[in-house]
Every structure is written in C-alpha cells, then in structure tokens.
Amino acid sequence: MVKLAFISAVAASLLAVRADDCVTIQYPFPAGQGGNSTRADAVKEEYRYVWAEYAKYAFGQDDLLPISHAGTNDLFGWGATIVDGIDTAVVMGLTDIVTSQLAWIASVDFSSSAYIVDEFDAMIRYIGGLLSAYDLINSKLVPSGTYDPANVTALLTAATNISDHLKPMFNTSSGLPLANINFTSEQASNCNPIEPCDASNTAVDTAICGTLILEWYRLSDLTNDSSYRELAQRTEANLISPDQDLIYPNIVGSSLDVNTGKYTNNYGGWQGGIDSFYEYLIKTYVYAPTEPSTVDYKDYWVGTVNSTMKYLASHPFEHPELTFISQTDNNGELEYAMDDYACFAGGNLLLGGRYLNDSDVFDFGLAVTDSCHSLFNTSAAGLNPFAWSWFNATNQTYTASDAQSPANVAYANKAGFYVTDAGWGAFPEPIESMWYAYRLTGDAIWQEYIWDAFEAMLRDTRRNSSEAFAQLSDVTQPLGGALQDYVPSFFFAEVLKYFYLTFADPMVVSLDEYVFNTECHPVNIQSGTCATS
C-alpha cells in the first residue's frame, strides 16, 4: 500500500491519515537530513567501549560493576545486559557484537532460573528486548543472511518460553498478576526472598499490572497464539474500568489488589509505580489501532491526559515558564513533586497528541519536556537529579519544612525547583522525551540539548577511564559527586539508543514504523503498512 504523502510542513498539518487508518506522525525530514553521522558514530563508540568492559569483566552475568570490574546477577542470571542491549547493537549495525549476543541468547535456558523472577523486569527487559531484536533483524535495516537464522528464531522462542512461564502469575481471581514467580515450582507470590515481604499482601503496583499489553499483543501476533493477548486484555480491563470512585477522573492509584481487582490507594501521578500503565494505553493503540480493545485504552488515556492538564499540571512560584506534572498524596492533594520517571510523560504526550491530532496535548507535552530539560542546564553536573519539588503558586511547599531550608529557597529562586534526590542513576526518561520532541517537530534545538547531555555524561561518568559509566551520587556537585559501582542494563537498552537515534538518519527506526516499549525496545507497528520507505 502507498503512504499518503505529506503536503505541508506546517505543524498543524503534519498528521496524515490514510484511507486504511494508518496514521503517520514523524516530522517529514528531507531525505538524507536530520541526522549527524559524526555524533552518531561518537555514541556508537561508547557502546563499543562499555560493551567491551562488560564482555571482559561480566560476560553472561546480568550487569557490569564498573569500579570493581566484575559482574552481578540481579535480573535472574540470564545475562540481562546482553538481552536488553542487543537491539541497540542491531540498530547501530555492530554485527560482530550482535553475532556474539545472539549466540549467547541461543544458549540460555530461559525456562529455569536460580532466582525468583519478577514479571515487570521479565516483561520489559527480556521479552521486550527479545521481540525488538527479532523485529529489527527481520526489518530492512539488516540485510538478510547477516545473522544465523536459527539464532534469530531463538529470540522468538525465548520470548515465548519466558512468557509461558509467567502465565501462572495471572491465575488470580481478578486476572491481575502477582509480582513474582519461581519458574521451577511455578509458585507465584508477591514475595521475593531477597526483599522483606508480607506474604498476606496482595497489592501489586499499577505499573506492574499495566506494562504488558504491548509486549503480549506483539507476541500473540508473531506466534499466532492469542493466549498472551487474552491474559493481557483481562488484566487491563481491571485497570481501565475501576469499579470504584477515583478522586480525579482517570487518575488512578499506585497499586491494585489482585483478589478484588480494585485500586488500594489514591497516590496519583505519572511517577514510578504508575508511569508505564499510562504510557502503554496510547502506545498499544498506536501499535494496533483497529483492534477494538485498544480503542478503550486510547479513550482512557485521553481522559487521563485531560485530568492531568486540569488537576496535576503545576507552574512553580514565579516560574511560569516551567510546567511540571505533580504527584498527589492519598487524599488527592498535590505534593508539588516529581521524579525522573515522570519525565517520560512529555514524550508520551507528544506521541499521543500528534497521533490524535490534539495540539493542546502536543503543546502540553512540549512544555513538560522543556521543563524536564531545565533539570539538566541548571545542575552543576549537567545531568538531571532523580527527584525534585517546587514552591507552588502561593509560594508554599507540600512538606512545610522544605520551605525553611535557605538552600531550597535559593535553588528554587534560580532554577524554579529544589532537589530532593540528587542522584543520577543513568535513567533515560528526560532524554527519551527530548528524542520524541526532535523526531516529531524536526526542531534541531532538541538535538543540541541531547548532545549537551551526552557530553555531560561523558565528562562526569568517564572522568576516570577505568571506572566507566558509573552512576553518580549528586548532580548538584561539579562532575556529579561520587561514582557508584553499577551500570544498569537499561543504559545499553535505553540511554545509548536514544542518544544514537537522535543523530542517526531519522528514517532509522521511524516512529511511523515502530512503537517503543517502556524499556526503549521498538517493535513493528502491527499493520506494518505505515512503512515510510
């Protein structure tokens, strides 16, 4: 099928709707423009570098400890960095590295683990990473025959195998999953031996329950086995049809009871614990807009965004240029506080605003993204803190004692917010949103912001060449304070991929062909008919 050509570069007319409902959203960059190969190559070299460190000190373990020069198993011992990081290497065309990653994955027995497996990480990092590598290797990006076909097929087999072993988690009266499972005994529970746990606690985070529809819809489509989509639909039905009153329409609490299927509290917002539930409502609609269930998800998202703009958006005192999305307490009172995770919201609002052709939502997304960017250029280290709060319109803070701190007042006078957790954990979310802003507007200012962040990251985290890419303790200090001994697998999956895709040719993993899971793993949009070339 032929894509309807863009007829105008004016923002309001960017959206093109085809007769077959295939919507294209990415900014129409002229052929060969929009990338910067010098910068893309620089990002690729950093992947090569940190991969070599992992391969040398930690190959086959889950994560690299960059200061101890060792590895650690904290994600079920299947080599999380390899599975989470392979699709980034595929996109970068690092064929030698991908070949070794595929061989590793083909050799792992994903049907057993010495550890308790949690549904969320298994879903977003492993299943998401496997499906994404499978889709990308089978796309026009990779010449056929580049990789061993048996080892490519093994990606899909592994995603299926892990998924089958997660199914018993959903055997609850509501259909909501328990958080953890022992693959050997098939015993699901909320308990993980490495964390303190009350065995009678049946509450599970909203994000855990709401972050599987995209992966399992894709898996069902790739395998022709509807069982994954059906389990996901049953779970999601609880989340979008709460049989209870919410304080604000479509602003849900942060956990649900797997027995009753009801939200257990009213802690609201787009922060960690809730975040990717909202994210997937619109993304799964973009993935399969003609599937009836996803229309319900999209409608719920529209209501959430409406309430977010109405009730949760907040401009700090004397800083009208900033727009933050506040979290709420259990009574629905705004806390005038936000965390790094919630900065994904800017990009999600941009994606949905453009896809649904709603310029109010799109503009709100730009404002939130720009405000998350301000966390970078106001910090001494040039990187964003993990959490921050602000003085509200009447110059008050949620936690009254915060206002007594001269340091908070001084920081807020300058920056518009004050820092409540200054750590930098190599999280991608503000960069993710800036990347959506770039791919959807074509405005090169976002590339410059992202390049500044990349350079700050190199300066701070590679200051000692033998302790590369450590996390940072305090971005309010020059160079970010102390180095911390951990490189999370999402550094490979997300941070390096968003940096790279900012400077790669924008036709590489176009937003008209792919939708990204919450761990930055792109999967092919279901119809496959939105392809731009």
Ligand X SMILES: *[C@@H]1O[C@H](CO)[C@@H](O)[C@H](O)[C@H]1NC(C)=O
- The size of the interface with ligand X (CB under 6 A), counted in residues, is 52
Least spacing, CB of residue 147 vs ligand X, in Å: 7
User: Residues near 489 by Cβ (< 8 Å), separated by ≥ 6?
Assistant: 62, 63, 75, 80, 81, 83, 84, 85, 125
Q: Which amino acid is at 257?
A: D
- The answer to whether residue 171 forms part of the interface with ligand X (CB under 6 A) is yes
- The answer to whether residue 149 forms part of the interface with ligand X (CB under 6 A) is no
Instruction: Indicate if the alpha-carbon torsion angle 518, 522, 523, 527 is positive or negative.
Output: positive
Neighbours of 236 (CB within 10 A): 26
Least spacing, CB of residue 192 vs ligand X, in Å: 9
- The answer to whether residue 420 forms part of the interface with ligand X (CB under 6 A) is no
Quick one: which H or E segment has residue 516?
strand 514-516
- The DSSP secondary structure of 411-435, one letter per residue, reads HHHHHSSEEEE--B----HHHHHHH
Angle between helices 445-461 and 496-503 in degrees, nearest 10: 140
Three-state SS for 180-229 is EEECCCCEEECCCCCCCCCCCCCEEEHHHHCCCHHHHHHHHHHHCCCHHH
Q: Taking CB under 6 A as the criterion, which residues in 72-131 touch ligand X?
A: 99, 103, 106-107, 109, 111, 115-116
> How many Å apart are CA 214 and CA 232, to the nearest integer?
9
Least spacing, CB of residue 264 vs ligand X, in Å: 21
Contact string (CB under 6 A) for ligand X, positions 474-513, x = contact: ----------------------------------------
Least spacing, CB of residue 240 vs ligand X, in Å: 14
Neighbours of 457 (CB within 10 A): 23
> How many Å apart are CA 205 and CA 295, to the nearest integer?
24
As separate numbers, helices (DSSP H) first and strands (DSSP E) second, the chain gives 18, 18
Closest CA to 284 of 30, 40, 516, 15: 516
- The answer to whether residue 377 forms part of the interface with ligand X (CB under 6 A) is yes
Residue 514's DSSP bridge partners are 524
Candidate list 24, 26, 39, 65; residue touching ligand X; CB under 6 A = 39
- The answer to whether residue 379 forms part of the interface with ligand X (CB under 6 A) is no
Piece of 25-33, 46-54, 262-270, 389-397 that binds ligand X (CB under 6 A): 389-397
- The residue among 88 and 384 lying less far from ligand X, judged by its C-beta, is 384
Candidate list 41, 45, 148, 360; residue touching ligand X; CB under 6 A = 148
- The answer to whether residue 33 forms part of the interface with ligand X (CB under 6 A) is no
- The answer to whether residue 331 forms part of the interface with ligand X (CB under 6 A) is no
- The answer to the question of whether 235 is labelled as a binding residue is no
Residue 403 tokens read as: 């206002």
Contact string (CB under 6 A) for ligand X, positions 176-205, x = contact: ------x-xx-------x------------
- The answer to whether residue 36 forms part of the interface with ligand X (CB under 6 A) is yes
> How many Å apart are CA 15 and CA 98, to the nearest integer?
36
- The answer to whether residue 45 forms part of the interface with ligand X (CB under 6 A) is no
Piece of 121-129, 196-204, 386-394, 493-501 that binds ligand X (CB under 6 A): 386-394
Q: Taking CB under 6 A as the criterion, which residues in 235-274 touch ligand X?
A: 249
Give me Rg for the CA atoms of the chain: 22
Residues annotated as binding site?
A: 518
Site for ligand X, rule CB under 6 A:
12, 15, 17, 36, 38-39, 67, 99, 103, 106-107, 109, 111, 115-116, 148, 151, 157, 160-161, 164, 168, 171, 182, 184-185, 193, 223-224, 249, 302-303, 306-307, 310, 357, 359, 370, 373-374, 377, 392-396, 398, 403, 409, 464, 466-467
Query: Binding site for Ca(2+): which residues?
Result: 518
